[in-house]
Amino acid sequence: MRITSVLRTARAAALAMTAGLVLLGGAASPAVADSSPSAVSSEDGDAPTQAGTSFRTATEIEQGRKATANGSAGDYMYWSFPADAEQRPTVTATVQLPESTRSASSTWQLDVYDGLRRRQACQYGAQTRTAAQDADLVTLTCVLRTVRAWSEPWANDPLPGTYYVRLTTTELATADLGVPVSAMVRVDSKDMGGAAAVDGSLAEPLVPGIAVTGAENTDSDEDSTAVLSSLEPEDGWSSGWWSSRWVWTAAGGVLAALAGVAGYALTRGSGRPSRVPPPGA
């Protein structure tokens, strides 16, 4: 009888555990859905067709969209994109070289800077490549570290905000300066989830000029529009307030409670005194 009771209790605990996990998964699924800009699809006709020549004139692009530009070998090409906490951006640039024979090979480099214009190291990827004299194109890739919601002031960790992409040549023959080239840049992100969450958040994302946004103009009723980057994630800046760690913490609490109930059911007594053998038995 006791074994049957224990089995029934364990079965009830397992059913309750399954129901709790289903309810947690259903409640959390809308919040942990991919809300990064890379999930937004767009037509190629809406993609930018030019690049900036400095940080201040960088062309804004959204994640998941392709941007193209025509330029000359030896020039700097700049783009900017937003990246939020728990995202790991991947920047890919393809340079189409002219079909005419060039005088020598050329080396191209892709650099990424954050909102404070600090150069961010690539976690992996071919950030610098040399194109042979007869090459038609060269492809560069930079996979950044995961964007953190908060970091120490002395650290160089990537933080939420605007990121800049710079494409240029580092080694080029003098005779090839000014040769027309075309470039294509695309930024995608992978959501790293609660594994990359930290206990902290920024007051504001690192977007140039955001500190003076909305400042009242004493001479008129118009608000200041000093923000140099207008793009942001589709659902706004999360600043790390939500992560899947909340789901797993709640699930761990439910599992701990169910384990306690099951352990109590397995170790409790039957409620009847144990049989005492008669004297002389």
CA-nearest of 275, 250, 272 to 21 is 250
CA-nearest of 94, 172, 169 to 133 is 172
Q: What is the dihedral of CA 172, 173, 177, 179, to 10 degrees?
A: -90
Residue 33 has pLDDT above 50, yes or no: no
Q: Could you report the per-residue pLDDT of 94-113, keeping only the tens digit for each?
A: 999 987 778 899 999 999 99
d(CA 106, CA 138) in angstroms, rounded, equals: 10
Residue of higher predicted confidence among 116 and 201: 116
Maximum distance among all Cα pairs of the chain, rounded to whole angstroms: 114
CA-nearest of 42, 45, 47, 46 to 185 is 47
Residue 217 has pLDDT above 70, yes or no: no
Residue of higher predicted confidence among 87 and 239: 87
- pLDDT score for 55: 93
Q: What is the 3-state secondary structure (H, E, C) of 243-276?
A: CCHHHHHHHHHHHHHHHHHHHHHHHCCCCCCCCC
Give the count of beta carbons closer than 10 Å to the beta carbon of residue 2: 11
- How deeply is 151 buried, as exposed, middle or buried, from its count of CB atoms within 10 A (0-12, 13-18, 19+)? middle
Give the pLDDT mean for 159-177.
93
- pLDDT score for 25: 43
Strands (DSSP E) contained in 145-232 are: 161-171, 180-191
pTM of the predicted structure, to 2 decimals: 0.67
Which amino acid belongs to residue 269? Answer: G
Range scoring the smallest mean pLDDT among 201-205, 220-224, 225-229: 220-224
Q: Could you report the per-residue pLDDT of 171-187, keeping only the tens digit for each?
A: 999 999 999 999 999 99
Residue 88 has pLDDT above 90, yes or no: yes
- pLDDT score for 196: 58
Residue 7 has pLDDT above 50, yes or no: no
Whether the CA torsion 207, 88, 188, 241 is positive or negative: it is negative
